[in-house]
Every structure is written in C-alpha cells, then in structure tokens.
Amino acid sequence: MSLAILLANAARRHADSPAVSVGLQTVLTYGQMGARAAALAGGMMARHGLRPGDRVALALRNCPEYLEILFGCWHAGLVAAPMNAKLHAQELAYMAGDCGARLVVADDDIAAALAPHLPGVPQLVPGSAAYRRLLAGDPLPLYPVDPADAAWLFYTSGTTGKPKGAMLSHRNLMAMAIGYLADVDALDERDGLIHLAATSHASGLFGLSFVAKGANNILPESGGYDGNELAGLIGARARLSFFVPPTLLRRMVADPVLLAAPNQNIRTILLGAAPVFAQDLRAGVQAFGPRLWNGYGQGESPCTITAMSQRDIADALAVGNESRLASVGTARSGTQVIVADDQGQPLPPGATGEVLVRGETVMAGYWNRPEATAETLHKGWLKTGDMGRMDDAGFLWLLDRRKDVIISGGVNIYAREIEDVLHDHPGIAEAAVVGQPDPEWGESVVAFVVPSPGATSDPAAWEQMLAERLARFKRPRHWRIVDTLPKNAAGKVLKRQLRADLATQSGGTDQAAWVRR
C-alpha cells in the first residue's frame, strides 16, 4: 500500500482540518493539501517526463510546501530523497547524483548553488511560477506501488565517509507511522506537531503519523527555535508535540520564558538524534513534567528501534533508578532487538555485544551499495554498528559505536559509560570521549569537555567524580578543554574529527593528564 493513502484518507475524513500552519495561521487544510499533492504528482510526471520509480531530490528548509511535495512524489510512485538543506552544495550534489535524481526541488538559493554541479537536471523552486503551473494541472490518479518499492532514500550523515542512501520502502514507513500510534500517542485531528527540527529527517518522519490522523503540522514563523515564539504557540494551542535533539532540550530547560508557558498544553517532547543522558531527562521532566520520550534509531530503521516511553522515564525518576534512566528503552512494537556476538548469536542478559534489529522498519539495503548492504544486513538482521548490553527485562543500554571502542591494555572501554558520568557534573555542558594511540597501552582515553557557562574548568574535580563511579582503567588519561564539540548537520558529535585534532595537536588546551602507575 502506498504511503500516499495516508494523506488521501486524511483529506477525505478531515478536509477542513488544518494540515499545515505557520505559527497560528492555517496555510493548508487537509482537503487542500490532498488536492495539491495529486496535482503536483500529475505535473511532475507530465512536465518533467518522470516515471514511477524515478528519484526526486529535496533540498529544502522547512517550508509549508514540504509535505505536499513529499506526498506528491508518493502519489505518483516516485522516490523522494530528502536532504539536509544545511549541507554544502557539493555535498547535496553528491547525494542527488548518487541516487540519479531526475528532478531537484530546492529553495531558490540552494537551487542556484546546485545548478553548476548538476547540469541537465531540472530544478523546481516551491512558490515559483513553474511550481504554480504544476499545481494548476490535472491531478494524477494514485499510482499502485508495491509496498516493497522504495519511498524515501534516507542519506546517512556520513560521519565516517561518503553518505549512503538507505532505501526505505512504503512498507517500512507505514510500519513506522503505525508504530508511533501504537507506542507513543493515539493521535487525532486535535493534535499538532511543531517542526522545530528539519522535516528532511526525524521531524518529517514523525510527521507521517500526524498526517495519518489529520493532525496539524506547525512551522514556527522564525524557521526554527525561538523561546518566546514557542512559548506563545504552547500558550495558544493544546496537545502539542515536537522533536528536539538533546542540545536543544538543554537550551529549553534554561529558558525562563519557555518555562513559564503552560506545559499542560505539551503532549510529548520527542528526543533523539544524539545520545540523551540521564541528566537531560531529569532536567527535562523537572521543567516540563512527565512528557519526555527518548527513542533510539537509525536511518536504516527509522523512528525507531527502542524507546523509553514517557511512563518509563517517569517511573525511573520516581524510584531513583539511575541505571534505568540511562537506558534507551525496550524494543518498539513489531521490532525484535538482540545483543549479539561476532557470529550474530544472541548473548545473555548483561553481556556486551553488537545491537541487531529486525522488523518491518528495517531498510531493504543501501542504494547502489551491494557490498555495504551485505555488511549491514545479515539473515534478516540489521547490524547497527552500536555496542550495547540488555537486561533480562529487555531494556537496552548503548555503550559506543563498534568502530569507536577504545582498546587499552587489551581491554575494551566504552565511551558512553564515561560520558554518562561526566554529564552528571554541573560544571560540564558537553563531553565526548575518544581513544588516542599510546605506545604502552595501545590506546589511552581522552575526554573533550565543554564547560558549563560561568563554570571553572576543574579536571581534578572531574577525575574525582569518575573515581567514585568507574574503574581506574576506564578513566581519562588526558583532558582537553574546548569551546565546542564538532558536529555534523544532524547534531551528532564527530569523533573522527576529535581524533584528527589530537593527531595535529589542535583539539584545545591540554589542562591535565593522569598517568596510571
């Protein structure tokens, strides 16, 4: 079944309900958006000579047209390739070229920057005269796709090399959308999703569940996060949800204007995209009540693999279960998750291994990457590349990326264990741990720390706190004090850049070093 049916059904059932709003102003009702998506489908096929299965690259900032373009692609049996508009034009051109895009839909400035890199590929700018001509054309009947057909090429963030396009089928994303309704919230047309983050990634994926139930997709007038604006939206509307990475949550809990808003109008704050630490959850629940939800997933199995529900987080806080609070939760409905050894065999509770997942949300493979697909998919399992452990109740703890495990003196050290403790210190805003070559131990542990505003950098105090909670061999030998941590467009820390900085001695001021004796 095509994902386009989600909008078609909502347009029929909730024709007059707000589908897209900018601030408090309704821009499109569901009836209007359904008609526009069908017209766009017809226009793209007729005017640009596209055929079902062709790829359409989307290089757009959040805009009112985003959803109608996405659903217009699916209505016509086309494959959408949403890309992060913050990337450089050469990066965007690489992805558009990699998937063989037959059409690029982009903001006008991005389209101009892309044109020299994509000769011969037509470009369409939302709101332009050419766009309006497509909307004025005849609507296209819904194309009968196979559920296994690709719907969305999700390009990985490329933290370790060139990005790869994870092929997400109509079946994958339908299972994801229904899973939200089963596990997170039973939505209806009274709900709203505020898109504070990019619709090209998690926020847009979550939006499919809201479209399915005729709920409102709300774009801030500012185009992103503004505490005063968000407080105004929360004050004016009820049953609001929004997706934020942990860095944005930290800004929110420190914003007095936002804290004064009526948090009873917030339904769910969805967390993800980067590690969420126990300190983040404590601060978030204290600020906004038991409304936080923390999901773990990948582009290869979107939104998500496991999750700590609102109740899981609240229950862990109520009994002071710090260990449970640091978990990424249990398997989502219809998803199987195991921790496995190098041969793919399940390990007993408490053992450390690679996290494997299978289910209806797992991708079909990488676009034109058979070798990478074979390495990642094995006998129906997605090998996530994440190291973790699971308890006998099915709660999962993530420890590190497999390739980032630090091996010191022949012993595996997992950065997440150290980072979890460091993030509990009030003087630390952010921390990331990596290994660097060591002639004696093979690798030694290095901690990069961003101090909290106004705090004094005190590695001795940080070392003392670690000494109270971690074995000696896990504690950093070196500390690097930095103003910021390098991150990719999705907000994930670039640990390969930290290791490169160490190699060139440009990673910050070496404040202290502890040599184990």
* CATH number of the structural domain spanning residue 456: 3.30.300.30
User: In this model, does residue 411 exceed pLDDT 80?
Assistant: no
Tell me if residue 418 falls in helix, strand or coil.
Answer: helix
Residue 498 domain-assigned? yes
Please tell me the predicted confidence (pLDDT) of residue 157: 66
Residue 315 domain-assigned? no
Residue that is written with structure tokens 């690798």 in the block: 443
Tell me, what DSSP letter sits at residue 346? Answer: B
Kindly give the residue spans of alpha helices, DSSP state H, lying in 289-423.
310-319, 322-325, 370-376, 415-422
Angle at 98 between CA 109 and CA 55, to 5 degrees: 75
Residue 233 domain-assigned? no
Domain total of the chain: 1
Residue 84 domain-assigned? no
User: In this model, does residue 515 exceed pLDDT 70?
Assistant: no
User: In this model, does residue 506 exceed pLDDT 80?
Assistant: no
Positions of E strands within 9-69: 18-22, 25-29, 55-59
Question: Who wins on pLDDT, 263 or 400?
Answer: 263
Predicted model pTM:
0.85
Q: Is the peptide bond prior to 304 cis by the omega test (within 30 degrees of 0)?
A: yes
Q: How much of the chain is in helix, strand and coil states, percent to nearest 5?
A: 35, 30, 35
Question: Which of 85-99, 381-395, 458-472 bottoms out in mean pLDDT, i.e. has the lowest?
Answer: 458-472
- Whole-number average pLDDT of the chain: 91
Distance between CA atoms of residues 331 and 123, nearest Å: 41
User: In this model, does residue 509 exceed pLDDT 50?
Assistant: no
Stretch 439-448: mean pLDDT, rounded?
A: 83
CB 198 within 8 A of CB 219: no
Tell me if residue 51 falls in helix, strand or coil.
Answer: coil
Please tell me the predicted confidence (pLDDT) of residue 277: 83
pLDDT band at 266; cut points 50, 70, 90: very high
Distance between CA atoms of residues 226 and 232, nearest Å: 10
Distance between CA atoms of residues 311 and 242, nearest Å: 18
CB 415 within 8 A of CB 472: no
pLDDT in tens, 113-155: 999 999 999 999 999 999 999 999 899 999 999 999 999 999 9
Distance between CA atoms of residues 238 and 265, nearest Å: 4
CA contacts within 13 A on the Cβ side of 293:
23
Instruction: State the CB neighbour count (10 A cutoff) for residue 330.
Output: 19
User: In this model, does residue 432 exceed pLDDT 60?
Assistant: yes
Tell me if residue 379 falls in helix, strand or coil.
Answer: coil
User: In this model, does residue 466 exceed pLDDT 50?
Assistant: yes
| Amino acid type, 203 | S
Residue 356 domain-assigned? no
Residue 285 domain-assigned? no
Note the residue count of the chain. 517
| Amino acid type, 247 | T
Q: What are the residues whose beta carbons fall under 8 Å from the beta carbon of 108, sequence distance 6 or more?
A: 125, 128
C-alpha closest to that of 211 among 236, 187, 244, 230: 187
Q: What are the residues whose beta carbons fall under 8 Å from the beta carbon of 32, sequence distance 6 or more?
A: 19
Phi, psi angle pair for 148, to nearest 5°: -80, -10
Rounded to a whole number of angstroms, the distance between the first and last alpha carbons of the chain is 64
* Token couple for 200: 């090209």
CB 168 within 8 A of CB 367: no
Phi, psi angle pair for 236, to nearest 5°: -100, -20
Kindly give the residue spans of alpha helices, DSSP state H, lying in 377-494.
415-422, 459-467
User: In this model, does residue 510 exceed pLDDT 90?
Assistant: no
Go through 140-167 and write b for each residue having 16 or more CB atoms within 10 A of its CB, e for each that does not.
bebbebeeebbbbbbbbbbbeeebbbbb
Neighbouring-strand partners of residue 374? none
Long-range contacts of 317-320 (CB under 8 A, 24+ apart): 317/281, 317/282, 317/285
* Token couple for 508: 């910050």
Phi, psi angle pair for 12, to nearest 5°: -80, -45
CB 273 within 8 A of CB 349: no
Residue 119 domain-assigned? no
User: In this model, does residue 433 exceed pLDDT 50?
Assistant: yes
Residue 497 domain-assigned? yes
CB 244 within 8 A of CB 252: yes
- For residue 480, what are the domain limits? 405-513
